A = this chain, B = another copy of it.
């Protein structure tokens, strides 16, 4: 696919400087870009990258108008512009519409005529798949589950019975939507299973990473609001709510009934306790454990700095005696106070 700079500006806005007839076929990092590729610089401090590039065109912030002679598009948010150009040049692969003969679709499932159901996919009784949605090979959609329009489910995704996915969702391979929450009542020395009768409801424009698991609710639903982005290998327990447009990095765990606000960002391998609430716009750092509600937006951290092993061992052992250390300091302060008395 090829597109002229003039066509890009007509479609996405921005100010064109230079020859609008220049054609680009792909996006690329500046140091690797060739004459039919377009790159970008997001911030003034990276402008040095322009000096050696062979890119056919570049996307720049307005204040960098004169930083190069090359054909360029000026826009206040070059990274976002670049994303849109890339999406135009790299449409996701779309298998042909229709149900593959090697798929198994329940007689009463409702499949949009222009949806694509891949080989080996299994669609349960009463389930529905919306317009233009793609259900990848070997996906399993449970009874009564609903997949919206324009969704892309990659291979081997599992959506349990009755769960709902909004429009334009992207679910990556191996993710599991709607498995039972971890709920058991103690019965003497054994555990009795609490049936998990809630569902998972996922809003529009959500992306879920590979092997991420989102459990169904115990009595009410687990809710992922619109625009949420979840990376790989994340655990979302039953009855969690994740507010709209929050983004969560890989390996994070969120315990039952936690309520994450809107527009939050959570670093990788964070762990969030259950039954707590996190304010909108909160940022949680990588490897941080959140043990109580955060009613105030801010950035929260409990990640430890590493050291060389021997150094670390010497220091870490004192963690076990901090309380004694504090008492020793207090004693010193008292004694010194005595000595200083006239």
- Chain A contact residues, CB within 8 Å of chain B: 26-29, 32, 77, 79-80, 82-84, 86-87, 90, 92-93, 100, 102, 104, 118-120, 122, 136-138, 140, 142-143, 154-156, 158, 160-161, 170, 172-174, 176, 179-180, 182, 184-187, 189-195, 197, 205, 207, 209-211, 213, 215, 219-220, 227, 229, 231-233, 235, 237, 245, 247, 249-251, 253, 255, 263, 268-269, 271, 273, 283, 285-291, 298-309, 311-323, 325-326, 328-329, 332-333, 335-336, 339-340
Contact = CB atoms under 8 A, between A and B. Distances in A.
B229 A250 contact: no
B209 A213 contact: yes
A1 to B, nearest CB: 12
15 contacts: A32-B219, A80-B192, A83-B185, A83-B193, A87-B193, A179-B210, A180-B207, A189-B263, A233-B233, A287-B289, A300-B306, A301-B312, A302-B307, A332-B333, A332-B336
Contact of A285 (B119, B269, B288, B309): B309
Given A154-B160, A156-B156, A191-B245, A306 B289 contact: yes
Contacts of A170: 180, 193
Nearest to A37: B219
Contact of A90 (B77, B102, B197, B288): B197
B319 A227 contact: no
Contacts of A182: 209, 229, 231-232, 249-250
Contact of A176 (B174, B192, B263, B339): B174
Nearest to A78: B185
A84 B193 CA distance: 8
Contacts of A143: 93
Given A83-B195, A197-B86, A286 B273 contact: yes
Contacts of A29: 219-220
**This chain: how many copies in the complex?**
3
Closest 8 pairs between A and B when the two form their complex, measured CB to CB: A140-B155, A302-B306, A158-B173, A299-B309, A104-B119, A176-B210, A122-B137, A179-B210
Contacts of A336: 332, 335-336, 339
Contacts of A302: 304-307, 312
A317 B335 contact: no
Contacts of A316: 301, 303-305, 319, 322
A190 B229 CA distance: 10
B235 A233 contact: yes
A286 to B, nearest CB: 6
Contacts of A317: 305
Contact of A84 (B192, B215, B321): B192
Contact of A309 (B227, B249, B301, B332): B301
Among A119, A190, A288, A328, residue most surrounded by chain B Cβ atoms (within 10 Å): A119
